[in-house]
Each structure stands twice: as C-alpha cells, then as structure tokens.
C-alpha cells in the first residue's frame, strides 16, 4: 500500500515541506550516504584516496550529518528549531581544503555530486509514495537551497583558515591549555579573558587524551573546540565534554595509527588529573597490562589504574602481608598464591575452587591447609584480607606484561 501526500497541502509555495516526508526519506539515508561518498570518490580525483584518512573521515561524517540534518528540518513543526550539527563539519571541510593548499573547486564539485545523487534517489522514491509534482518541485528547491547553505559554510571555514595565521592562533590556544592544566585559582580571570579572545567557550567538563611522542596530526580534521599540544615529549589533547563515539572517531582520523588513552571526564579544574590518568593508562597499555584497542578509556580500567598507581607501595604491602610465604620456592609460592586468590575471589568450596583452577579438590584442600598454617589469623582480619587480595590482584595484572621486556609493544602504535 503506498502513502499519498495530498497535493493540495503544498499548493501555496510559502508553505514548508510536510513533516510526513521525513519518515519516507529517513530509511533511505544510510545507503544514500554510502552511494554519495562512493560517487564523490569516483568522480573527483582529489578525493579518490583512502577514505580512512582525516579528510575521508570528515567527508563521510559530513555526508551522513548533512542528510540527517536535511530530514530533521523537514520533520520539525513550522517555527520549531531543528537540531543542526552540520555547520561545524562543513567549516571543517573548508579548513582542510585550505590547509591542503587546494582551491574550493573540488569541494564545491563534491557538493554538486552529492546533490545529484540525492536527487536521483528521490526520483526513485517518489513513485513508490505517489508524491505529487508539486511536492517534488518544492523538494527540489529545498535540496538545492540547502546545498547552497552548506557550500557557504564550507567557504566560511576556508576563508577563516586562509585569513587567520595558524601559528599565532595555535600559540595562544596552547597557552590557554597550559593555564587550564596548571589548576591555579589565580588563573581563572586570565583563562576567561584568553578564552573570550579566542572565542573558545569554557566547557563544564573536559576529557584529556594522551598519546606518544613524534605523533603526526591533521589539526584541520579536529573539531574547532579541541585544544592540543603535540610538540612535546608527551603529546595530549583537551576535548570539551565526554569522548563520545563521534569524538573518538574524529581523534582517530586526525591521529591515525597511534594508540591513544582518554582520561576521565572532569571539571576543567581537574584537567591535570584526567591527563595524569590518561598517561598512566597509556603506559599500562604499552606494557601489555591493558589491552583495549587503539583508544584506551580510563573509565574502563579504574581498578587497574588504582592498584598499579604506586608499584613500590604495592611491593611494600606484599612484603608485609605475604612475608610468611618467603620460605617457599618460587613455584610453591606461585601455586599457593594462585589458590589463595581464587579463594578470596570466590569463597567457594574446594570442589568449586578446583574447577576454577582445573585441579583436584584434594589438591585445593592441601594448599588451603598450607595457607592457613602460613597466614593464620590474618585471613580472619578484614583489613589484612583486603590488603592481601589487592596485592594478589596487582601482581596478577603486572604478570600480563612481557617478562622479557616488560612491554608488549615497543611503540605506541595502535
């Protein structure tokens, strides 16, 4: 059964497009976006390179966001404000073109190509829903007016990148970043003044992202509100708000092929803590202790970060809590601590611990007798028991590192 939109609803050219168009168009968007990106890469030589680079990421995001925003504008009632996230993407595309030393000709051609592919799809969709010629005429006007708007936004980003010296601006943005990280109450007014001069809105929360030295970055692929300092031995970025999936994809596209670690999302006055945690997580990932893909999120490894925050202190606790095991051989000690940790974690029976460790229950009972003889009353003391469990967990985590080098990878590549 086809859905008919009444032609009479759109006879007045001043009326907006009917919101009922939105659910007709929305299912087409995912495949349409792929078709547009493929056609742009096929028909415009400058964009035929790998799609996973900085420009490719922004191009794909721009097509997806552009289509979604167009349909969102149709869906909202007249006079209501539609969510519009396309402006920043278009300006970013323009900035990338300027930084790459290209003119705007190719990007404008890409917009035209996108419009042509979209219109061909609309011509296929129209008969299925019996869209009238009046609807189609009004839709065509809306499509090409929207393209003009997107081109204008990209031209704005292009002109901005051409007219504002990047070096001077980058220096002031790095200064702002340093002031935020210093976490000094006396910096508040200076931070506010510098942020206003840079038109940088101070966010309520920030996330710091760390990476390794010698990193290569495409700054134009980053959102305008990202602050960064990649020149030092410990490069890092400040991202306003949480590291969403879109932000994560943005950072990976701007810094491809490198491992990154994201600290916790905190208030700006705690930015230094977020960076410290991110750098520690990066070290643990490089050492093979954390294995979490190309972007390590501290929020997924809080206990590990806590347990390994001070290795020397853990060693001191181990000497105090496990001193009674010092007379055992390394092999005996390993088997005893393995069984002890399983008991602390599961509090199970000998049979249950045996299944957990793949050993016979009688072996578990023998080891538990040795443990009781060695640790005695300490196992009944909650504080001592907690310390023992923390030490055993930390030791197990450190055991994940390569015993020969202490590291799983020699660099910070993803």
Q: What confidence score (pLDDT) does residue 169 get?
A: 58
**What is the rounded distance in angstroms from the CA atom of residue 246 to the CA atom of residue 411?**
26
Of the pLDDT bands very low, low, confident and very high (cuts 50, 70, 90), residue 10 is very low
DSSP secondary structure string for all residues of 375-401: HGGGGG-HHHHHHHHHHHHHHHHHTTS
Q: How far apart are the first and last CA of the chain?
A: 51
Q: What confidence score (pLDDT) does residue 19 get?
A: 83
pLDDT cut 90: percent of the chain above it: 26
Q: Structure tokens of 280? A: 């520690």
Q: What confidence score (pLDDT) does residue 160 get?
A: 77
The string of pLDDT tens digits covering residues 235-244 is 999 999 999 9
Q: CATH: 1.10.1060, 1.20.58, 1.10.490, 1.20.1560. Which one for 7-163? A: 1.10.490
Cα separation values, 216 from 56, 164, 213, 256, Å: 17, 22, 9, 8
- Burial of residue 103, with CB atoms counted within 10 A of its CB: 0-12 exposed, 13-18 middle, 19 or more buried: exposed
Q: Structure tokens of 192? A: 């506010």
Mean pLDDT of 155-173: 73
The string of pLDDT tens digits covering residues 177-216 is 989 998 655 678 888 888 988 889 999 999 999 999 888 8
The helix (run of H) or strand (run of E) holding residue 75 is: helix 54-75
**What is the rounded distance in angstroms from the CA atom of residue 396 to the CA atom of residue 339?**
13
Residue 257 has pLDDT above 80, yes or no: yes
Using the Cα atoms of residue 277, residue 281, residue 284 and residue 289 in order, give the sign of their dihedral: positive
Residue 407 has pLDDT above 50, yes or no: no
Q: What confidence score (pLDDT) does residue 209 get?
A: 96
Strand partners, 258: 413
Mean pLDDT of 347-368: 81
Among left, alpha and beta (phi > 0; psi -120 to 50; other), residue 328 is: beta
Mean pLDDT of 364-377: 80
Of the pLDDT bands very low, low, confident and very high (cuts 50, 70, 90), residue 231 is confident
By mean pLDDT, which of 229-233, 285-289, 320-324, 353-357 is the weakest?
320-324
Q: What confidence score (pLDDT) does residue 78 get?
A: 56
Q: What confidence score (pLDDT) does residue 287 get?
A: 85
Q: What is the mean pLDDT of the chain?
A: 81
Phi and psi torsions of 373, nearest 5°: -65, -35
Mean pLDDT of 123-146: 89
Of the pLDDT bands very low, low, confident and very high (cuts 50, 70, 90), residue 165 is low
Q: At what angle do helices 86-99 and 54-75 cross, to 10 degrees?
A: 150
Q: What confidence score (pLDDT) does residue 25 get?
A: 93
Tell me how many degrees the CA angle 97-66-102 measures, rounded to the nearest 5: 10
Q: What confidence score (pLDDT) does residue 4 get?
A: 42
Q: What confidence score (pLDDT) does residue 382 get?
A: 79
Strand order in the sheet with 206-211: 227-229, 236-240, 206-211, 260-266, 295-297
Whether this model's pTM surpasses 0.85 = no
Judge contact between 273 and 266, C-beta under 8 A.
Answer: yes
- Beta strands 206-211 and 227-229 are unpaired
Strand partners, 261: 210, 296
DSSP secondary structure string for all residues of 275-303: HHHHHHHHHHHHTTS----SEEEGGG-HH
Closest CA to 138 of 245, 50, 272, 21: 21
Q: Structure tokens of 14? A: 């001043």
Residue 259 or residue 340, greater confidence? 259
Residue 272 or residue 347, greater confidence? 272
Of the pLDDT bands very low, low, confident and very high (cuts 50, 70, 90), residue 3 is very low
Q: What confidence score (pLDDT) does residue 186 get?
A: 64
Judge contact between 239 and 222, C-beta under 8 A.
Answer: no
Of the pLDDT bands very low, low, confident and very high (cuts 50, 70, 90), residue 1 is very low
Mean pLDDT of 374-393: 78
**What is the rounded distance in angstroms from the CA atom of residue 92 to the CA atom of residue 312?**
47
Judge contact between 203 and 268, C-beta under 8 A.
Answer: yes
Of the pLDDT bands very low, low, confident and very high (cuts 50, 70, 90), residue 280 is very high
By mean pLDDT, which of 34-38, 131-135, 298-302, 310-314 is the weakest?
310-314
By mean pLDDT, which of 8-17, 29-38, 81-90, 126-135 is the weakest?
8-17
């Amino acid at each position: 059964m086809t859905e008919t939109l009444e032609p009479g609803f759109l006879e007045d050219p001043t009326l907006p497009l009917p919101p009922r168009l939105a659910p007709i168009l929305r299912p087409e968007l995912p495949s349409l976006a792929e078709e547009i990106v493929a056609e742009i890469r096929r028909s415009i030589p400058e964009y035929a390179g790998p799609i996973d680079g900085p420009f490719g990421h922004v191009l794909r995001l721009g097509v997806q966001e552009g289509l979604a925003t167009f349909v969102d504008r149709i869906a909202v009632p007249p006079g209501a404000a539609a969510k519009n996230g396309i402006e920043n993407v278009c300006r970013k595309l323009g900035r990338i073109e300027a930084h790459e030393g290209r003119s705007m000709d190719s990007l404008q051609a890409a917009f035209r190509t996108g419009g042509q592919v979209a219109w061909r799809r609309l011509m296929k969709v129209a008969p299925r829903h019996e869209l009238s010629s009046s609807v189609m005429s009004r839709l065509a006007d809306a499509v090409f007016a929207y393209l003009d708007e997107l081109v204008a936004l990209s031209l704005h980003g292009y002109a901005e990148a051409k007219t504002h010296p990047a070096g001077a601006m980058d220096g002031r943005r790095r200064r702002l970043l340093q002031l935020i990280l210093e976490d000094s109450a006396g910096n508040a007014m200076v931070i506010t003044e510098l942020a206003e001069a840079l038109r940088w809105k101070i966010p309520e929360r920030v996330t710091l992202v760390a990476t390794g030295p010698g990193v290569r970055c495409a700054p134009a692929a980053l959102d305008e509100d990202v602050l960064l300092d990649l020149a030092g031995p410990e490069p890092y970025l400040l991202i306003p708000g949480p590291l969403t999936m879109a932000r994560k994809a943005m950072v990976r596209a701007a810094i491809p092929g490198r491992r990154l670690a994201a600290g916790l999302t905190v208030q700006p006055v705690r930015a230094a803590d977020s960076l410290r945690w991110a750098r520690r997580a990066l070290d643990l990932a490089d050492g093979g202790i954390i294995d979490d893909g190309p972007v390590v999120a501290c929020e997924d490894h809080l206990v590990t970060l806590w347990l390994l925050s001070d290795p020397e202190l853990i060693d001191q606790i181990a000497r105090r809590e496990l001193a009674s095991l010092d007379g055992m051989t390394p092999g005996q000690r390993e088997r005893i601590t393995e069984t002890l940790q399983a008991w602390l974690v599961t509090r199970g029976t000998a049979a249950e611990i045996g299944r957990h460790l793949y050993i016979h229950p009688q072996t578990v009972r023998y080891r538990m007798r040795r443990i009781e003889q060695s640790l005695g009353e300490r196992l009944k003391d909650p504080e001592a028991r907690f310390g023992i469990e923390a030490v055993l967990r930390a030791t197990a985590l450190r055991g994940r590192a390569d015993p020969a080098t202490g590291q799983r990878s020699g660099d910070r590549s993803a």
